[in-house]
Chain A
Amino acid sequence: MPHSLSTPDVTTPGGLLLVLAVLVPFVGVLAGMVLGGRGARRVALATLAAGLAIAIAIADTLVRSGAAVVYLLGGWTPPLGVALRADGLAVIMLLAVAVVIGGIGVYARADFGTPPGVREARAPFVFWTLLLAVWGSLNLVFVSGDLFTLYVALELLTFAGVPLVSLGGQPETLRSALRYLLYALFGSVLYLLGAVLLYGAYGTLDIGLLAARVHPEPVTWAAAALMTVGLLAKTALFPLHLWLPPAHAGAPAAASAVLSGLVIKGSWFLAVRLWLDVFVGVVTLPSAQTLAALGAAAILVGNIVALRQARLKLLIAYSTVAQIGYLFLMFPLAAGLAAAQLDDAAAVNGGLLQAISHATAKAAMFMAAGLVYTTLGHDRIADLRGVARALPMTLVAFALGGASLIGLPPSGGFLAKWLLVSAAITTAQWWWALVMLVGGLLTSAYVFIVVVRALAPAPEGWTPKASVPCYQQVAVLALALCSFLLGLAVLCPVDVAGIGRAVVPGIGSP
């Protein structure tokens, strides 16, 4: 009987930290609503610091104890109650999100200040409260051990994410926001239908208990299919990606960084959780291959369309469509490794690293594009002359982020793709390795084009339209460096991602 979360259901020392990780951002949202205006920004920045400390404390607890951190809410044991659980996968995502959202917060300090003379302005107020809301929701996605609580987390994420798209207030951004809302709600409903079926069939919503109870039968397949499709729509995997590029076209840079770097990782993480921890033994290798085939199509289509973009922001958005594809290559690789009775850590860690390095790199690149837009007054790729002189630090950050997307050593993207390629070769699925190589080549083409255009000397007498504060450039560079140096994680002495995850008999195994 496969069961992955073998942790006993008792609150572990430090479990309270998980409650804090979820609720502190939401307390920040509530406090920000009352204090309003400048108070909302102060509260948000203070919460970012507190939340990072909480994430570090959780990671410390996990590594020290060497087991998953668990908290039983209200003292009720599942299935009646709800448990919060953080294994290695969850803790790494918690930490990564805390770092990225901190970087975005520092960057956004300049863009979302309340103008002098007014008590409160629309865009700053909405941005700072929803930034915290996105964070709380993501933390809940990572640590929740209950399918319905996870549904609530997805709803929170939707309602926190959608208004960020139309923060600019132009009519076309409203259209994109509405399209995103429809995709996201459609995804939520499918997920909820699946969760309801599982409860009907097995009498529990708890992930650990479900993993022990599910077996291959029509109701489980129906639930798995509904939930997976719903999550794919939210993650914007090809061909359900149509909402993503327009959503980024008119969104502020910081909002794009949140959406592209973080929000879509929530639903992806949930898909990983379901496939690896709940439906293991139910989903088949061909179904995992289908997911990866969609991912491969995303890599090719996203990269080719990115190459044809005239605007920097849309180029980065289509690059996200492609990078999401890599996130889904891990499914058949993990399944293949498990079926061969090998440790699936290479595939799982590869997917996880891809998620983190993309989160850091993409947030940095969107924010770099935002600085370019402020400086030039446009973001036409054909006309990026002068960027290197006006924003040297930002251009370096863009190039480092791009290097991580391409997969150059020692970046996080390199280690991720290396792990995935080696897993593909070990499991004799060489075609996925081929897709990754072609994807890397296409990515390097458009990163190269942008950097070369930006390096071109500015015309005589050219002056930047506006100057940007130094700390914004530093925030962008710091995130890009995180992504670029993430490959050094290979030196980490413990396999943090594997903590709390028992070795599971894999997909397709007898």
Chain B
Amino acid sequence: MTLALAVDISLTLLVLAVAGWIIAVRDTFAAMIGFVAYGLLLALVWVRLAAPDVALTEAAIGGGLTGALLIGAAARLRGTEAAARAEYPGALTRTLAAVLAVTVAAALAIGVLALPDPTPTLAPAAAANLATTGVGNPVTAVLLAFRAMDTLLEAIVVLLALLGVWSLAPDRAWGGCPGPRRLVDPDGVLAWLARLLPPIGIVVGLYIFWIGADLPGGKFQGATILAAMWLLVIWAGLADTPPISRTWLRVLLVAGPLVFIVIGFAGSITAGAVLAYPEGHAKPLIVAIEIALMPTLVLTLALLVAGAPQRIPPQ
């Protein structure tokens, strides 16, 4: 047995074990911690499958951001945990859920096992057309050239999710600051971390964003790191979330998709199709879109974690 195979087998077993533990464990908070670990393990799986872009995204979004959201939710649910346990689903519901899960898994297994070998793929076509886009990372070429429409719309999906979170605000708090005011010891360890980490995190985040054009990385992963840094500063009480009625906030939130759409429509005049780039200018335009999307994504992701506005707006 080679070392690589041993690593793969133990990784698979570990993923399955953590997944089983998340389902079995009763305490919500513990399940959420398990979920974060699960996300990081999945990232390793993607690394083993030679998909570093997916691995980075899984670690940043699947492990980090989703983990922060879920842990935040679990923390808020602590007080009602005992009451919720009384509503624990009965044997019938659980059996149905298990049957459903097994059926879906079986359908997937049948499908995956029956896939032709070699699997048909568009990777060669993407690689062959890489040169026209000017970028070196084929994943970026797919996201911002071949399937740019999907990326544009996904950016809007995230924005709609934020609107959905905001819509849960009490009416009187509309326009106010999301989340509670953090009162933290200004000399405590959190405040210390919030002073120490952001400079490093910002450099790393920007680096991952910048190399995304040519190497694994990109705006979503970079934006998640920057959002995490901002949230750290907020949680440490060194800064507050901005009131959601601020014009600068709204402008930055829509700037990314709007610039994307403007450059996209400009393409119909300069390059013959919407979301096409004129020859020789593809890379600068793609980078311009990514730069515009960056603040939008940082703000949206951080504000998604920060939650609905809950404080009366400043007069």
A residues lining the B interface (CB < 8 Å)? 11, 16, 19, 23, 26-27, 29-31, 33-34, 36, 71-76, 79-82, 119-123, 125-126, 129-130, 133, 140, 148-149, 152-153, 155-156, 159-160, 162-163, 166-167, 169, 174, 190, 193, 197, 200-204, 217-219, 222-223, 225-226
Cα distance A419–B286 when bound, in Å?
51
Task: Please provide the chain B residues from 118 to 160 with a CB less than 8 Å away from any CB of chain A in the complex.
Answer: 119-122, 125-126, 129, 145-150, 153-154, 156-157, 159-160
Cα distance A183–B144 when bound, in Å?
31
Chain A hits for B258, CB < 8 A? 27, 30
From the candidates B119, B251, B257, B273, name the one contacting A26 in the complex (CB within 8 A): B257
Interface of A, secondary structure class, is: helix
Contact, CB under 8 Å: A23 / B261:
yes
In the complex, residue of chain B having the shortest beta-carbon distance to the beta carbon of A197: B111
Chain B hits for A33, CB < 8 A? 159, 163, 250, 253-254
Given contacts A36-B250, A120-B245, A122-B174, contact A71 B274 (CB under 8 A): yes
Other A-B pairs beyond A79-B122, A200-B112, A201-B115, 13, CB < 8 Å: A29-B159, A30-B257, A34-B250, A36-B250, A73-B274, A75-B272, A76-B145, A76-B276, A82-B150, A123-B171, A149-B150, A163-B167, A203-B120
Cα distance A120–B247 when bound, in Å?
12
Given contacts A193-B104, A217-B114, contact A81 B147 (CB under 8 A): yes
Chain A hits for B111, CB < 8 A? 197, 200-201, 218-219, 222-223
Chain B hits for A159, CB < 8 A? 157, 160-161, 163-164
Convert B203-221 into 0s and 1s, putting 1 for each residue whose CB lies closer than 8 angstroms to a CB of A: 0000000000000000000
Chain A hits for B271, CB < 8 A? 75
Cα distance A133–B254 when bound, in Å?
14
Contact, CB under 8 Å: A169 / B276:
no
- How far apart are A205's CB and chain B's nearest CB, in angstroms? 9
Q: Does B99 contact A (CB under 8 A)?
A: no
- How far apart are B283's CB and chain A's nearest CB, in angstroms? 15
Q: Does B168 contact A (CB under 8 A)?
A: yes
Contact, CB under 8 Å: A140 / B153:
yes
Q: Does B239 contact A (CB under 8 A)?
A: no
From the candidates A79, A156, A174, A202, name the one contacting B160 in the complex (CB within 8 A): A156
Q: Does B237 contact A (CB under 8 A)?
A: no
Chain B hits for A200, CB < 8 A? 111-112, 115, 119
- Count class of interface residues, chain B: 35 or more
Contact, CB under 8 Å: A203 / B119:
yes
Task: Please provide the chain B residues from 168 to 197 with a CB less than 8 Å away from any CB of chain A in the complex.
Answer: 168-171, 174-175
Contact, CB under 8 Å: B156 / A26:
yes
Contact, CB under 8 Å: B108 / A222:
yes
Given contacts A126-B166, A162-B164, contact A36 B245 (CB under 8 A): yes
Contact, CB under 8 Å: B275 / A73:
yes
Q: Does B3 contact A (CB under 8 A)?
A: no
Given contacts A74-B145, A140-B153, A149-B149, contact A160 B273 (CB under 8 A): no
- How far apart are B204's CB and chain A's nearest CB, in angstroms? 29
Q: Does B110 contact A (CB under 8 A)?
A: yes
Contact, CB under 8 Å: A203 / B121:
yes
Given contacts A74-B274, A130-B160, contact A80 B126 (CB under 8 A): yes
Cα distance A60–B280 when bound, in Å?
37
Given contacts A73-B149, A149-B149, A193-B104, contact A126 B110 (CB under 8 A): no
Given contacts A27-B258, A73-B148, A159-B161, contact A119 B245 (CB under 8 A): yes
Chain B hits for A156, CB < 8 A? 153, 156-157, 160
In the complex, 15 of the A-B residue pairs with CB atoms within 8 angstroms, ordered by the A residue number, are A19-B268, A26-B257, A30-B261, A74-B148, A81-B146, A120-B175, A156-B160, A159-B164, A160-B160, A163-B164, A174-B168, A200-B119, A203-B121, A217-B114, A225-B107
Chain A hits for B314, CB < 8 A? none
Cα distance A166–B167 when bound, in Å?
8
Contact, CB under 8 Å: A120 / B174:
yes
Q: Does B116 contact A (CB under 8 A)?
A: yes
In the complex, residue of chain B having the shortest beta-carbon distance to the beta carbon of A213: B120
Cα distance A74–B286 when bound, in Å?
13
Contact, CB under 8 Å: A202 / B120:
yes
Chain A hits for B72, CB < 8 A? none
Contact, CB under 8 Å: A167 / B167:
yes
Chain B hits for A27, CB < 8 A? 258, 261
Chain A hits for B159, CB < 8 A? 29-30, 33
Cα distance A200–B109 when bound, in Å?
13
Cα distance A16–B120 when bound, in Å?
31
Cα distance A299–B311 when bound, in Å?
47
Q: Does B267 contact A (CB under 8 A)?
A: yes
- How far apart are B54's CB and chain A's nearest CB, in angstroms? 13
From the candidates A11, A129, A226, name the one contacting B273 in the complex (CB within 8 A): A11
Contact, CB under 8 Å: A201 / B145:
no
- How far apart are A152's CB and chain B's nearest CB, in angstroms? 5
Chain B hits for A174, CB < 8 A? 168
Cα distance A197–B157 when bound, in Å?
24
Contact, CB under 8 Å: B160 / A152:
no
- How far apart are A270's CB and chain B's nearest CB, in angstroms? 16
Cα distance A203–B124 when bound, in Å?
11
Cα distance A223–B169 when bound, in Å?
39
Chain A hits for B156, CB < 8 A? 26, 29-30, 133, 156
- How far apart are A29's CB and chain B's nearest CB, in angstroms? 7
In the complex, residue of chain B having the shortest beta-carbon distance to the beta carbon of A24: B261
Chain B hits for A75, CB < 8 A? 271-273, 276
Contact, CB under 8 Å: B257 / A148:
no
Cα distance A363–B41 when bound, in Å?
48
- How far apart are A250's CB and chain B's nearest CB, in angstroms? 14
Chain B hits for A79, CB < 8 A? 122, 125
In the complex, residue of chain B having the shortest beta-carbon distance to the beta carbon of A148: B150
Contact, CB under 8 Å: B122 / A19:
no
From the candidates B126, B154, B167, B254, name the one contacting A126 in the complex (CB within 8 A): B167
Chain B hits for A121, CB < 8 A? 171, 174
Cα distance A34–B122 when bound, in Å?
39
Chain A hits for B122, CB < 8 A? 79-80, 203-204
Cα distance A190–B107 when bound, in Å?
11
Q: Which 5 pairs, one residue from A and one from B, show the smallest C-beta to C-beta distance?
A: A203-B120, A75-B273, A159-B160, A222-B111, A30-B254
Chain A hits for B107, CB < 8 A? 222, 225-226
